[in-house]
Chains A and B, each alone.
Chain A
């Protein structure tokens, strides 16, 4: 669906990402040279899982990145560099799929890659890109191992687990304390790959320290198409708070199943809930989404550029999800670094990213500052679905509503 508004043609895409399997068969490979001959400007890899289990998020990420590229090109390209030519890649929701795309993008002569989305994909793709000193800007992947391996090419614009879980727990404690500590018990439902499991591990270590008792932690694979048993378990244990940590489809299904089975804890408090702060979810299932709180990536609602982007995305009939504004910001970050580097050179770009103090993004992070590849200002926000909208409840500096907790009875 997102492809209707792509401004680059199929031919263009083929020219830039041509795999050349046929060429291999004839033994006439000279791909980088051929591709370099395609024209000036700069090639930027946009790597997303646009098919497979994570396809919705992948397509949203691609949307954000391509909007940014279109805007930059419409304004005449990057100063001193020229237009950005996107090289789109589909990681097929697997690390090896992502890895193969990095190889293609490298051969196509991209100056950097933006994206990856899932932690497991980012772990593999950043490593492959590191072989070529190819700058890689991780859009979402939250596992902290992504930036703790000492890879000089890897930059993560958004926050990682450590920061997110700390922020989520601080805010949870604050919300609970303010309401007179009605919540004492927690159940965690998480997807079982690097993202969900890593988070569950952190929560299992930190929630008891903050006075919460964890009744049970339930892992499930992605995709999962039935949450009846999980919800029955929740019903049996009757926790005060349910903490889901999973991707979009599973999150929606879990919330709907809870609604169907009339399971209504004092709060559904997600940490990086795949759908909890998604306008799509709120619009399609407003009742299931009502009062759900989430600690997640969120745009800066004070930033006119962020609101303008929201309008633009919605005008295209799309939803303004975190994948969109994260990838949008990441592309702008690369463009800024390229302008400062003054050349489409990977080493110079790595250095420019390392010293980046970029403020033109739409996130509430302040100027970028990378230490070991991690953007230090990156932090999540807490949101709650209230009525037909998503309101920010933390941090208080740009909160648009007070948290409703405990959830009123149905």
Chain B
């Protein structure tokens, strides 16, 4: 089987990689780092929610686990940040697999699944706010140590390229999923679980696989956050804010599309900054404008920015065709 669609990934990533050569402004780079971080976390959500149809409201559980694992390993056990980063991703994936196993085995779907994921994230938040290992409510502070070995960099550009590399990796993973039988099964489960099961798809394994990959990608975002800000508390790591950001980006950008989370994150964050830009000193006015524009975007582009672009410039639509193809193969 040929693996189409990687060229666009390369093009998008290459274009973004050039940004630090165009501007040395740390304001812009910091802004893009945050946008890409949200894109990464959103891509994690997209694998499960967009391709698998399992809407999670609790991706903070994975984000926080990744972040805390990286931070706690460094602060409490003196483990280097680089392996800490990898262990953080693995820990996030493990939490995803466990939560997935427990909820899918109980047959939780739709809003029940959303609620149970939210509950898991909240439980982890409360545990982290009292457990001594996470620094309880005081939080965990990673020592400022600007060295490559400590995964800390003076230049924002390096952080930018690292988060971009992670986003690129997530794009490749999603493209691989799209091109694979696993992806076809996942879409089949999303479209009609019973029909997929009747066709011989192992629904449990498919959903669990998606949940684990999704959690790993989101956890990578958490690990990055810990290294970038060097401070975590329970509200930051496991708070509902990141669960909301994780689903907002793909929903605005286009659920179940490879570039949805990236587009969504860039649009949402740019909107936020632009609103701040025009409102000046009036506190909160930017947030009101931001909210209003968000409502309009969702109202007039229900399929997200990606859907809107497709409607404006119709072109060959590969993804659904491939999904159909995949279904017939299974």
Contacts and interface: CB of A to CB of B under 8 A. Distances in A.
Interface of A: 3, 6, 8, 10, 13-14, 18-22, 24, 27, 29, 31-32, 50-51, 55, 58-59, 88, 90, 94-96, 99-100, 103-104, 106-107, 120, 123-124, 127, 130-131, 143, 145, 149, 151, 190-194, 196-198, 200-201, 219, 221
B270 interface: yes
B273 A19 contact: yes
B276 interface: yes
Interface in B11-25: 22-25
B283 A19 contact: no
B150 to A, nearest CB: 14
B287 A51 contact: yes
Contacts of A201: 136, 138
B273 A21 contact: yes
A99 B30 contact: yes
A104 B27 contact: yes
A144 to B, nearest CB: 10
A127 B230 contact: yes
A124 B28 contact: no
B281 A88 contact: yes
B283 A55 contact: yes
Contacts of A193: 137, 139, 233, 235
A192 B234 CA distance: 8
A13 B286 CA distance: 14
B236 A95 contact: yes
Interface of B: 22-28, 30-32, 34, 129-130, 136-139, 141, 143-144, 146, 154, 229-231, 233-236, 241, 270, 273-274, 276-277, 280-284, 287
B157 to A, nearest CB: 13
- Dominant SS among interface residues on chain A: helix
A221 B229 CA distance: 21
B284 A55 contact: yes
A88 B286 CA distance: 14
Contacts of B277: 14, 18-19, 21-22
15 contacts: A13-B280, A19-B276, A20-B25, A21-B28, A21-B277, A29-B23, A50-B284, A95-B229, A95-B231, A107-B25, A120-B236, A127-B231, A193-B137, A194-B138, A201-B136
B129 to A, nearest CB: 5
A120 B135 CA distance: 13
Nearest to A66: B281
B274 A198 contact: no
A27 B230 CA distance: 30
Given A51-B283, A194-B138, A197-B138, 13 more contacts: A10-B281, A19-B31, A21-B270, A24-B23, A94-B241, A96-B34, A100-B27, A103-B27, A124-B231, A145-B141, A151-B144, A197-B136, A219-B129
Nearest to B128: A192
A50 B283 contact: yes
A29 B234 CA distance: 37
A1 to B, nearest CB: 9
B237 to A, nearest CB: 11
A50 to B, nearest CB: 4
Contacts of A58: 283
A21 B32 CA distance: 10
A219 B233 CA distance: 14
A10 to B, nearest CB: 4
A107 B24 CA distance: 10
Contacts of A120: 139, 231, 233, 236
A289 B136 CA distance: 30
Contacts of A107: 25-27
Contacts of B233: 120, 193-194
B131 to A, nearest CB: 11
A230 B138 CA distance: 21
A29 B283 contact: no
Contact of B26 (A106, A192, A198, A200): A106
Contacts of B236: 94-96, 120
Contacts of A149: 141, 143-144
Contacts of B30: 99-100, 103
A29 to B, nearest CB: 4
B138 A198 contact: yes
A127 B231 CA distance: 10
B28 A20 contact: yes
A60 B230 CA distance: 28
Contacts of B34: 96, 100
Contact of A200 (B137, B154, B282, B283): B137
A373 B23 CA distance: 34
Nearest to B21: A27
B235 A19 contact: no
A198 B31 CA distance: 31
Nearest to B143: A149
B281 A6 contact: yes
A6 B26 CA distance: 29
A205 B263 CA distance: 50
In order of increasing CB-CB distance, the 10 nearest A-B pairs are: A197-B137, A10-B280, A29-B23, A50-B283, A192-B137, A103-B30, A24-B28, A107-B27, A51-B284, A21-B273
B284 to A, nearest CB: 5
A212 to B, nearest CB: 21
A79 B42 CA distance: 52
A99 B229 contact: yes
A302 B25 CA distance: 48
A198 B139 CA distance: 9
B283 A14 contact: no
B285 to A, nearest CB: 9
A281 B182 CA distance: 60
A3 B273 contact: no
A32 B233 CA distance: 33
B280 A14 contact: yes
B138 A124 contact: no
B221 to A, nearest CB: 13
A21 B141 contact: no
Nearest to B229: A124
A179 to B, nearest CB: 32
Contacts of B274: 21-22
Contacts of B281: 3, 6, 8, 10, 13, 88
Given A13-B281, A55-B283, A21 B31 contact: yes
